């Protein structure tokens, strides 16, 4: 299997693979934030056009470019109305978890499709681009899901943390200062390779375990 993965990686220009993968993963991530909020009674995602699988509805041009160039970026956040939920704290946590959860489901589906290569070896040479995209979908989906679970604003993990452990999480969820300070802390941790080091170990363990199955 490792020989197959090396072959797939070596055959394709990286940007040809990365662009569709980024579009797919970010779109699914943001769509499921919007979908979960809508299912829980908030019409804001519908009114703002975010309940859509159209990538243009979710992408932030600068954030997408940064993601492709530096592997750290952002999408347009899905706006939600905290007051529209019947159970505000629980529902906010569910909406926040929906994005990372969708990433892990995407990774599982892509991996299952990648396993078909073992059944039809000729698929590797005839459709190597498809294989490259599937492999990158697995890697990027897992990476984005794990990264967003970090409890640092404005990442999804921080919203889950505030919703579960504070009686009035809206004080933090909609506070731009909290997001600003969190972003500074996040960038500092990235600059000093603290998050990168931890993420590499976690992702390495997950992906190596999965690829052995």
**57-107 pLDDT per residue, tens:** 998 888 877 777 777 778 899 999 988 999 999 999 999 999 999 999 999
- 13 pLDDT tier (thresholds 50, 70, 90): low
Which of 71-75, 85-89, 149-153, 156-160 is the least confident region? 71-75
- 115 pLDDT tier (thresholds 50, 70, 90): confident
Question: Choosing from 30, 47, 139, 170, which is the catalytic residue?
Answer: 30
Residue 84, token pair as written in the block: 């529209």
What mean pLDDT is predicted for residues 183-189? Answer: 89
Burial class (CB in 10 A: 0-12, 13-18, 19+), 113: middle
Backbone CA torsion sign across 90, 91, 95, 96: negative
- Whether 30 is a known active-site residue: answer yes
Tell me how far apart the alpha carbons of residues 142 and 29 are, in angstroms, rounded to a whole number: 12
CB 133 within 8 A of CB 17: yes
Residue 87, token pair as written in the block: 């159970």
Tell me how far apart the alpha carbons of residues 180 and 211 are, in angstroms, rounded to a whole number: 38
Conformation bin of residue 167: beta by default, left when phi > 0, alpha when psi is -120 to 50: alpha
Could you tell me the pTM of the whole model? 0.86
């Amino acid at each position: 299997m490792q020989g197959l993965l090396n072959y797939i990686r070596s055959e394709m220009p990286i940007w040809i693979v990365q662009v569709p993968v980024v579009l797919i993963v970010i779109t699914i991530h943001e769509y499921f934030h919007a979908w979960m909020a809508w299912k829980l009674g908030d019409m804001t995602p519908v009114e703002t056009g975010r309940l859509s699988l159209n990538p243009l509805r979710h992408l932030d041009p600068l954030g997408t470019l940064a993601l492709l160039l530096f592997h750290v970026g952002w999408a347009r956040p899905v706006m939600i109305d905290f007051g529209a939920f019947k159970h505000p704290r629980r529902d906010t946590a569910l909406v926040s978890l929906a994005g990372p959860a969708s990433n892990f489901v995407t990774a599982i589906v892509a991996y299952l499709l990648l396993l078909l290569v073992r059944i039809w070896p000729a698929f590797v040479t005839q459709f190597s681009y498809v294989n490259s995209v599937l492999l990158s979908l697995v890697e990027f989906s897992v990476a984005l899901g794990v990264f967003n679970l970090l409890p640092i604003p404005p990442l999804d993990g921080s919203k889950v943390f505030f919703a579960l452990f504070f009686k009035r999480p809206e004080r933090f969820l909609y506070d731009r200062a909290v997001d600003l300070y969190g972003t500074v802390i996040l960038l500092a941790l990235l600059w000093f390779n603290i998050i990168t080091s931890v993420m590499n170990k976690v992702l390495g363990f997950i992906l190596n375990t999965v690829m052995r199955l």
